[in-house]
């Protein structure tokens, strides 16, 4: 689903300033073409598609069901994946839904679908060994630039605080996977920035992902796709519990960070309910989310790809989890339904 637009042909709210500068690339960035696929990428995709237990097309297994269909806005930019026996662990599954936007959003979504699980699995293996983890942490801390530090600090400030006792109660899998999610998402976004065959300057994707191991559920979320739990209440009725927050620009913490980095947040007159992110001096691109992979035109102005990470211990009352894009809501279907 597309989430970007230009306000040049539409009227912003009176309180929002209008600029005259166009969207410009950094001088040292080369224009990257979208539609080309290298032979290496083709072979890589072919190998991935042969992995047992990895599903990415409409279909179902004993554990999961996947479905997507063409909407009314042209190219279907959604991607999805279920990977059973994730990381060669028989009791573990990875699931993800990715909603692309922009001219090459469908390519960004597929790239993240194919690469992010691999990166998460690799970092998870590393984090199991504490000595290796400490060594990597020391090496990466010195190489972080001010932009990375600022964005991670801003993300930490926007999260609710937890006392020490509550933190200590978190299971080991959550602590290991939390670190793995953070690193995998960071490396994934860097890879997109350097990708030679996909132009991610004004294209990107959401990512709502989870790892389930036994009864432990860890979720990493960027953007406005959503995870919803179907569970039974005390009367036995099936109810929906939202497990993620839609990371929209109108959230106070998200808006504060964006404005701190000179980005702007406002809605257009003809859709006042949709807050969007804009460049400092130009009414574009109008991104309707505060976090995303790609969209490098906004990465200097408050947009980040740092995931919100949460944990839930599943119980016998919990029936299933739905991962879905905001296109479900736009079709008039509520998540409760």
User: Left, alpha or beta for 262 (phi > 0: left; psi -120 to 50: alpha)?
Assistant: left
The C-alpha atoms of residue 195 and residue 8 are separated, in whole angstroms, by: 29
Query: Would you state the torsion angle of the CA atoms of residues 268, 269, 274, 278, taken in this order, to the nearest 10 degrees?
Result: 10
For residue 110, give every residue at least 6 positions away whose Cβ sits within 8 Å of its Cβ, in sequence order, or none: 79, 98, 100
Indicate whether 257 belongs to any domain: no
Q: Is residue 246 part of a domain?
A: no
> What is the three-class DSSP state of 143?
helix
The b/e string for 176-207 (b: 16+ C-beta within 10 A; e otherwise) is bbbbbbbbbbbbbbebbeebebbbbbbbbbbb
In a domain, 81, yes or no: yes
> pLDDT per position in the chain (337 positions), as tens?
445 665 544 544 444 443 323 334 444 444 444 455 566 566 767 777 778 889 999 999 988 999 998 877 788 999 999 999 998 888 999 999 999 999 999 999 999 999 999 999 999 988 766 544 455 555 555 444 334 544 445 444 444 434 444 455 678 889 999 999 999 999 999 999 998 899 999 999 999 999 999 999 999 999 999 999 999 999 999 999 999 999 999 999 999 999 999 999 999 999 999 999 999 999 999 999 999 999 999 999 999 999 999 999 999 999 999 999 987 665 545 555 5
Tell me the C-alpha distance between 72 and 287, whole Å: 19
Reported as a single tens digit per residue, the pLDDT across 121-155 is 999 988 766 544 455 555 555 444 334 544 445 44
Closest CA to 117 of 203, 212, 185: 185
Q: Three-state DSSP class for 300?
A: coil
Question: Is 274 domain-assigned?
Answer: no
Look at residue 334 and tell me if it is in a domain.
no
Q: Is residue 277 part of a domain?
A: no
pLDDT of residue 38: 61
How many angstroms separate the CA atoms of 206 and 279, rounded? 20
CA–CA separation, 307 vs 34, rounded Å?
26
* Tens-digit pLDDT profile for residues 15-40: 444 332 333 444 444 444 445 556 65
Instruction: Say how many domains are in the chain.
Output: 1
Q: Is residue 211 part of a domain?
A: yes
Domain that holds residue 209: 39-224+304-328
Contact 322, 218 (CB under 8 A): no
Residue 5 lies in a domain: no
Q: Is 308 exposed, middle or buried (0-12, 13-18, 19+ CB in 10 A)?
A: middle
């Amino acid at each position: 689903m597309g989430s970007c637009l230009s306000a040049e042909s539409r009227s912003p709210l009176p309180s929002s300033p209008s600029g005259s500068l166009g969207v410009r690339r950094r001088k040292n960035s080369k224009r990257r073409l979208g539609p080309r696929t290298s032979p290496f990428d083709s072979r890589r995709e072919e190998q991935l598609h042969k992995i047992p237990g990895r599903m990415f097309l409409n279909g179902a297994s004993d554990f999961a069901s996947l479905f997507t269909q063409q909407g009314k806005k042209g190219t279907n930019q959604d991607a999805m994946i279920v990977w059973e026996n994730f990381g060669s662990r028989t009791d573990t599954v990875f699931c993800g839904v990715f909603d692309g936007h922009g001219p090459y959003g469908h390519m960004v979504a597929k790239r993240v679908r194919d690469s992010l699980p691999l990166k998460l699995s690799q970092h998870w293996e590393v984090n199991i060994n504490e000595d290796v983890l400490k060594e990597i942490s020391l090496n990466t801390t010195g190489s972080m630039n001010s932009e990375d530090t600022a964005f991670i600090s801003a993300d930490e400030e926007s999260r609710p605080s937890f006392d020490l006792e509550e933190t200590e109660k978190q299971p080991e899998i959550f602590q290991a996977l939390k670190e793995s999610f953070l690193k995998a998402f960071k490396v994934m976004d860097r890879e997109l920035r350097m990708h030679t065959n996909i132009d991610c300057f004004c294209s990107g994707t959401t990512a709502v992902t989870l790892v389930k191991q036994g009864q432990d559920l860890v979720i990493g979320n960027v953007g406005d796709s959503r995870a919803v739990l179907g569970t039974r209440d005390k009367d036995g009725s099936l109810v929906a519990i939202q497990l993620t927050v839609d990371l929209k620009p109108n959230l106070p913490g998200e808006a504060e960070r964006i404005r701190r980095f000179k980005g702007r947040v406002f809605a257009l007159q003809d859709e006042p309910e949709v807050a969007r992110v804009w460049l400092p001096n130009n009414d574009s691109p109008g991104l309707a989310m505060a976090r995303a992979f790609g969209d490098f035109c906004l990465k200097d102005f408050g947009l980040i790809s740092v995931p919100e990470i949460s944990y839930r211990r599943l119980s016998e009352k919990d029936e299933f989890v739905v991962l879905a894009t905001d296109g479900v809501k736009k079709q008039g279907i509520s998540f409760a339904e």
